[in-house]
Amino acid sequence: MVRQEQLIIASGDAVQPFAYSVGMHGSRFFTEIRDNCRFMAVRCPQCGKVYIPPRAVCGDCFVEMKEWVEVGPQGVIGTFTIIRFAFLDPETGLQKPVPYGYGFIKLDGADTLFQHYISVEEEKRLRIGARVEPVFSKERKGSIRDIEYFKVIEPIAKLPTLSFPRRFWAGIWF
Amino acid sequence: MAKRVAIVGTGQTFHTSHRPDVNGQELINEAVLRALNDADLQMKDIDAIVIGNMDHFEGINYVDCWSVDGSGGTMKPIIKLTTGGTTGCTVAIGGFHLVGSGMFDRVLIIGWEKNSESNTTGAITTAFDPIWDRLVFAGAISGLAAEAQAYMARYGATDRDAARVSVRDRKHALNNPHAHLRREVTLEQVLASPMLADPIHLLDVCPRSDGACAVIMASEDVAEKSCPQPDWILGTAARHSYSYLGDADYGRLTSMREGSQELWKKAGIKEPRKELDVIELYQPYSFGGLIWIEDMGLVGPGEAPRYIWDGNTDMGGELPINPSGGVISCNPIGATGLIRCAEAALQVMGKAEDRQVPDVKLAFSSGFGGCWWTDMILHGRKKPQ
Ligand SMILES: [Zn+2]
Hey, are the CB atoms on B137 and A55 less than 8 Å from each other?
no
Q: What is the pLDDT of residues B111-134, one digit of tens each?
A: 999 988 888 887 888 788 889 988
Q: What is the pLDDT of residues B36-47, one digit of tens each?
A: 999 999 999 999
B245 and B143 Cβ atoms separated by less than 8 Å? yes
B53 and B217 Cβ atoms separated by less than 8 Å? no
Gap between the Cα atoms of A28 and B48, Å rounded:
48
Of B139, B153, B297, the CB nearest to A128: B153
| Structural element, H or E, at residue B307 | helix B304-309
Of B150, B197, B295, the CB nearest to A128: B150
Q: Is residue B221 predicted with pLDDT exceeding 70?
A: yes
Hey, are the CB atoms on B145 and A81 less than 8 Å from each other?
yes
Task: Report pLDDT for B1.
Answer: 58
Q: What is the pLDDT of residues B321-359, one digit of tens each?
A: 999 999 999 999 999 999 999 999 999 999 999 999 999
Task: Report pLDDT for A156.
Answer: 60
Predicted confidence band of residue A1 (pLDDT cuts 50, 70, 90): low
Residue A61 Cα to ligand 1 midpoint, Å, equals: 4
Hey, are the CB atoms on B149 and A81 less than 8 Å from each other?
yes
State the nearest Cα–Cα gap between B37 and chain A, in angstroms. Answer: 32
Q: What is the DSSP letter of B285?
A: B
Gap between the Cα atoms of A37 and A63, Å rounded:
28
Residue A49 Cα to ligand 1 midpoint, Å, equals: 6
State the nearest Cα–Cα gap between B198 and chain A, in angstroms. Answer: 5
Of B130, B257, B301, the CB nearest to A20: B130
Rg over CA atoms, chain B: 19
Instruction: Please state the rounded mean pLDDT for residues B94-100.
Output: 98
B22 in reach of chain A (CB within 8 A): no
> Which chain A residues are within 8 Å of B146, Cβ to Cβ?
79-81, 102, 104
State whether ipTM is beyond 0.95: no
Q: What is the pLDDT of residues B277-336, one digit of tens each?
A: 999 999 999 999 999 999 999 999 999 999 999 999 999 999 999 999 999 999 999 999
Burial track B200-230 (b if 16+ CB lie within 10 A, e otherwise):
bbebbbbbbbbbbbbbbbbbbebbebbbeeb
Predicted confidence band of residue A163 (pLDDT cuts 50, 70, 90): very low
B92 and B341 Cβ atoms separated by less than 8 Å? yes
Determine the 3-state secondary structure of A170 from DSSP: coil
Gap between the Cα atoms of B38 and A72, Å rounded:
60
